[in-house]
Amino acid sequence: MIRKFSTTLLGAAMALTLVSGVASAANWRAWNIHHDGHPNTAAMDRFSELVKDATNGEITVEVFHGGVLGSQPDALEQVRIGAIEIGNFNLGPIGPMVKEANLVSLPFIFKSVPHMFRVLDGEAGDIMSKAMADAGVLPLAWVDAGARSFYSQKPINTPADVEGLKIRVMNNDLYTSMISAMGGNPSPMAFSEVQQALKTGVVDGAENNFPSFKNVGHYEVTTHYSLSEHLIIPECICVNTKKFEALSAEMQAAVRGAAEEAAVYQRELWAVQSEQARKDVEAAGVKVNEVADKGPFQAAMTAVYDEYLAANPDMAKLVEIAQSTE
């Protein structure tokens, strides 16, 4: 009798182990807004392969490209609540959700892309990462998104050239303030709608980096790209905090390692493909112009900083760290 009982118990224990063994395998869904031919699409595919290898298939990541899982603000909310596990996000749309992330959305806050990475690798990056993780969107690695510049049907050389233009921006009040401060009319809009809006004249212009300008065909409906480089916004491979923290330490290290390796790959691809994207759009007829003096653009942003810091005085410390980082 006793033996029978213990055999039953053993059977139950084995069944439980089996069940929990199955439960510990995770099939994650990843959001990516870009299509084939964009560096981040290749990097997210690489990330998926790396996760599978590093976790011996215990965690799989299925990447959904082209924004099919929703717009960026929607997908961010999904990752925050754990309905989607992971994604390649731009920090711009994270700002309205996590105040600290807004540091990178202040125009001209960074001197260059390397400067931006130095800031992220320092104390400011730690503060931002913690705040993002606390909000449910934990950054595993930072990736490059170059600098954003204006494009329109005429060259833009001074803030006065933006006056009266309707310019599409990503969802973040800092960008609407930025355009208003130049005398333009900001139009927040989902990325997927911008090409049509440019084509039909619903907007007069937009702003982005070369790979994105090319990948979704904005260059086909635009004549001039002006190198204002007013925003240098990093992106992340970000995971739902709870799902990540529920993993064993070993699995966490494997997933983080995969993200870091995918980020190195992304940065290499970015360097090559953003040059190429510029050449491709020029070959297609887009006129690219340098902005000889960015001073007037920077000067116009004083009002944006003043207004923002008056409403968010606790952000002054992050701004000061970024500005004093060499």
User: By CB under 6 A, is residue 79 in contact with ligand BDP?
Assistant: no
| Token duo for residue 320 | 């000061």
* Entry field: residues in the chain: 326
Q: How far is the CB of 52 from ligand BDP (least distance, A)?
A: 24
Q: Which stretch binds ligand BDP (CB under 6 A): 44-52, 122-130, 206-214, 262-270?
A: 206-214
User: By CB under 6 A, is residue 191 in contact with ligand BDP?
Assistant: yes
The residues facing 207 across adjacent strands are: 150
User: Binding residues for ligand BDP, how many (CB under 6 A)?
Assistant: 10
Q: How far is the CB of 35 from ligand BDP (least distance, A)?
A: 11
Nearer to ligand BDP, 85 or 235 (CB): 235
What is the crossing angle of helices 173-181 and 302-311, to 10°?
140
Q: How far is the CB of 25 from ligand BDP (least distance, A)?
A: 30
Q: Which stretch binds ligand BDP (CB under 6 A): 22-30, 124-132, 208-216, 313-321?
A: 208-216
Query: Phi and psi at residue 208, in whole multiples of 5°?
Result: -170, 180
User: By CB under 6 A, is residue 104 in contact with ligand BDP?
Assistant: no
User: Which residue type does 24 have?
Assistant: S
Q: How far is the CB of 18 from ligand BDP (least distance, A)?
A: 41
| Token duo for residue 20 | 């929990």
How far lies 136's CA from each of 82, 84, 98, 139, 262, in Å? 8, 12, 10, 10, 22
Pick from 72, 152, 176, 241 the residue near ligand BDP by CB under 6 A. 72
Pick from 90, 149, 177, 226 the residue near ligand BDP by CB under 6 A. 90
Nearest to 226 by CA among 167, 291, 161: 291
Nearest to 106 by CA among 119, 95, 114: 95
Q: How far is the CB of 170 from ligand BDP (least distance, A)?
A: 5
How far lies 222's CA from each of 32, 136, 170, 213, in Å? 25, 38, 18, 10
Q: Which of residues 109-138 bind ligand BDP (CB under 6 A)?
A: none
Which positions lie near ligand BDP, rule CB under 6 A?
Answer: 33, 72, 90, 145, 170, 191, 208-209, 212, 235
